[in-house]
């Protein structure tokens, strides 16, 4: 008789983890109204060719508008030898405090024959500012901006920005609109999940070590950006319930059942930033064609093995 080891027991507990939902009663109405509000908002986009050291890749610098009039900066990158072809495209969202980086960072994806659109998250480490006005004081970082008002909250702004990124891609004549993926890690993984839940444009999603999941647990235990919400509540304890309620509108624990497309998720059992409980809480709610790659000895980290697995996942669906 085989004795179950500690890893197997941990996995069994996570696979059965089903915390109570925190969804407010008007969750569906809020998102229906919000998506309708932004559906026809113009992108006001610009695009210009960028010179890079790469000979086999064509790079364009893009700006577009999402939630407000902030010019959001992005890279649109295509293999240079496929002019006139409608290519699959991966929309990339970066992790907290990061940026879209340099175009060279996406060469592995163009080597697969795919286009890439990588966007800056507003106000963080990239070339994009933030015109979102602050209605109340903030703790360190960006997460707590307007956290007392779901209609003006930072997460609403970056969610709409992410949704408008896939809209920009879908309007490209050189993109195969049936083969658009959303991809990200950590904060970017959360944005990939919420975009997959709220948009009918993406065909597949990859959410590595995603944030924005089971956030009532995360604010209590995580070393992620949610600690900024904890710092805010530590300063203003009278606002705890309002903070939790605002977060609940953007929590993939509550929105996960909206995802209907093939999905790949990753999780590290030693991750203290995006804790396994938070990821599995959302993952277990998803009823789509899904798979999760669990790495027992990894922390908040996406290794090269999983990058290859992601490539194989995308090739399976896009060719």
Catalytic residue among 225, 271, 298, 306: 271
Is the pLDDT score of 319 beyond 90? no
Pick among 1.10.3720.10, 3.40.50.1110, 3.90.1200.10, 3.40.50.1820: CATH of 23-318: 3.40.50.1820
What is the predicted pLDDT for the residue at 4?
61
Is 271 catalytic? The answer is yes
Is 248 catalytic? The answer is no
Helix (H, G, I), strand (E, B) or coil at 9: helix
Positive or negative, the Cα torsion across 191, 197, 203, 207?
positive
Question: DSSP label at 125?
Answer: S
Question: Average pLDDT, stretch 153-163?
Answer: 98
Is the pLDDT score of 2 beyond 80? no
Catalytic residue among 139, 186, 225, 248: 186
Is the pLDDT score of 1 beyond 70? no
What are the CA-CA distances from residue 147 to residues 30, 109, 186 (Å)? 16, 36, 20
What are the CA-CA distances from residue 183 to residues 40, 71, 121, 146 (Å)? 24, 22, 14, 26
140 band by pLDDT with thresholds 50, 70 and 90 = confident
Is 186 catalytic? The answer is yes
| pTM (global) more than 0.75 | yes
83 band by pLDDT with thresholds 50, 70 and 90 = confident
For residue range 296-308, what is the model confidence (pLDDT) as tens digits?
999 999 999 999 9
For residue range 57-69, what is the model confidence (pLDDT) as tens digits?
999 999 999 999 9
Question: Average pLDDT, stretch 67-94?
Answer: 96
Q: Which of 113, 105, 120 is nearest to 175 (CA)?
A: 113
């Amino acid at each position: 008789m085989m004795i179950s080891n500690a890893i197997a027991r941990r996995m069994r507990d996570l696979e059965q983890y089903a915390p109570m939902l925190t969804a407010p009663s008007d969750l569906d109405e809020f998102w229906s109204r919000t998506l309708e509000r932004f559906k026809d908002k113009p992108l006001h986009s610009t695009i210009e060719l960028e010179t890079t050291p790469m000979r086999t890749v064509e790079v364009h610098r893009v700006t577009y508008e999402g939630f407000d009039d902030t010019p959001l900066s992005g890279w649109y990158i295509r293999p240079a030898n496929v002019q006139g072809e409608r290519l699959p495209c991966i929309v990339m969202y970066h992790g907290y405090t990061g940026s879209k980086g340099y175009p060279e960072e996406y060469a592995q994806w163009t080597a697969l024959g795919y286009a890439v659109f990588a966007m800056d998250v507003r106000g963080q480490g990239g070339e994009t500012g933030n015109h979102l006005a602050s209605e109340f004081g903030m703790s360190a970082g960006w997460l707590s901006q307007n956290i007392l008002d779901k209609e003006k909250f930072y997460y609403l702004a970056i969610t709409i920005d992410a949704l408008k990124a896939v809209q920009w891609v879908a309007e490209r004549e050189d993109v195969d609109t049936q083969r658009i993926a959303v991809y990200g890690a950590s904060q970017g993984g959360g944005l990939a999940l919420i975009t997959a839940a709220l948009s009918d444009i993406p065909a597949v999603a990859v959410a590595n070590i995603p944030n924005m999941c089971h956030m009532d647990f995360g604010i209590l235990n995580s070393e992620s950006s949610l600690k900024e919400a904890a710092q805010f509540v530590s300063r203003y304890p009278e606002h705890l319930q309002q903070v939790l309620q605002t977060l609940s509108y953007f929590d993939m624990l509550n929105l996960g059942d909206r995802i209907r497309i093939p999905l790949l998720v990753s999780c590290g059992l030693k991750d203290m930033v995006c804790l396994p409980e938070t990821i599995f809480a959302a993952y277990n709610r998803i009823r789509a064609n899904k798979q999760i790659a669990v790495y027992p000895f990894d922390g908040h980290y996406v290794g090269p093995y999983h990058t290859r697995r992601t490539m194989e996942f995308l090739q399976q669906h896009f060719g």
